[in-house]
């Protein structure tokens, strides 16, 4: 599901008491819930990754939202409003499919199973010939669906490939692709077909995601950190100059 309807009045009525951090965690958990169209996983590290919660305060906010607005079941954390909305979407999709099938049948019947021939026989009767059957290549292919992996599955596969710090890398992998709803091309491309191939690509780019370059060149994170430090030093030097100038202009106290 790429979008969902949020009823502002109902949402504000039921969520007036959470803090801004908790409200943000609530929104991200709902987005992950509707994007995957299934309950949130029971593994809390995976839920933290879906909500992009990093600090202890953000983890606590996710825990509080799960405890208040979600229900822990054997299949995962469920949400009553979310389940009701997903059921409505499923029924709507079934009605749309039935409507398309019915329209296709009506269109086929309106054309008939025979096509008229322009030639007539000696008695003036119209001769008919069977219409050609559709080519097998024109049949509609089934749309493939993608099931996002669990963090434990990604971690196990990374360990089998010898990736160091597989648990941390799996958490980063889940957070990176969940933020893009498992679409390639920075979230604007097609839906991912095989997450294991994405892990192989991830393995080749680990140095980039860790802020390092194998060839020794300065990475984006290193350059940003260096520029921030230089800016801080420049501001400190400027502040010291201002203080010195103020002290110089202040009148000196009279001597005894």
For residue 209, the tally of other CB atoms under 10 A from its CB is: 14
Secondary structure of 19-54 in HEC code, one letter for each residue? CHHHHHHHHHHHHHHHHHCCCECCCHHHHHHHHCCC
Strands (E), 111-200: 114-120, 126-130
Q: Identify whether the C-beta of residue 42 lies closer than 8 Å to the C-beta of residue 76.
A: yes
pLDDT tens digits along 132-155: 555 555 555 666 688 899 989 999
The per-residue pLDDT for 114 is 42
Measured CA distances, 254 to 67, 243, 244, 250, 251 (Å): 69, 21, 20, 12, 9
At 180 the pLDDT is 86
**pLDDT at site 69:** 87
Rounded Cα–Cα distance for residues 70 and 78 (Å): 5
pLDDT score at 157:
93
State how far Cα 193 lies from the chain centre: 15
List residues bridging with 191 in a β-sheet: 183
Q: Count other C-beta atoms under 10 Å from residue 149's C-beta.
A: 22
Phi, psi at residue 78, to the nearest 5°? -110, 160
Closest CA to 149 of 141, 157, 140: 157
State the pLDDT at residue 132. 55
Q: What is the pLDDT of residues 216-241, one digit of tens each?
A: 566 666 777 888 888 999 999 999 99
Kindly give the parts of the chain with pLDDT less than 50. 113-118, 126, 128, 214
Alpha-carbon 212 to chain mean position? 26
pTM above the 0.85 mark? no
What fold characterizes domain 1-113? Arc Repressor Mutant, subunit A (1.10.10)
């Amino acid at each position: 599901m790429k979008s969902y309807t949020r009823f502002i009045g109902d949402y504000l009525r039921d969520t007036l008491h959470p803090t801004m951090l908790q409200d943000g965690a609530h929104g991200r958990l709902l987005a992950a819930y509707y994007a995957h169209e299934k309950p949130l996983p029971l593994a809390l590290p995976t839920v933290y990754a879906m909500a992009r919660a990093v600090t202890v305060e953000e983890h606590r906010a996710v825990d509080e939202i799960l405890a208040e607005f979600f229900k822990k079941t054997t299949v995962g954390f469920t949400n009553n409003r979310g389940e009701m909305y997903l059921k409505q979407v499923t029924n709507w999709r079934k009605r749309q499919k039935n409507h398309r099938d019915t329209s296709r049948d009506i269109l086929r019947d309106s054309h008939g199973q025979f096509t008229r021939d322009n030639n007539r026989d000696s008695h003036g009767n119209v001769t008919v010939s069977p219409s050609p059957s559709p080519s097998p290549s024109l049949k509609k292919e089934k749309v493939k669906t993608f099931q996002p992996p669990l963090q434990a599955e990604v971690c196990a596969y990374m360990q089998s490939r010898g990736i160091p710090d597989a648990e941390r890398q799996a958490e980063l992998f889940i957070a990176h692709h969940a933020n893009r709803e498992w679409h390639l091309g920075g979230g604007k491309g097609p839906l991912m077909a095989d997450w294991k191939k994405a892990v192989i690509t991830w393995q080749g780019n680990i140095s980039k995601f860790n802020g390092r370059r194998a060839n020794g060149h300065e990475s984006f994170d290193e350059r940003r950190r260096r520029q921030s430090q230089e800016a801080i030093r420049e501001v400190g030097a400027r502040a010291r100059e201002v203080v010195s100038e103020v002290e110089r202009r202040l009148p000196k106290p009279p001597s005894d």
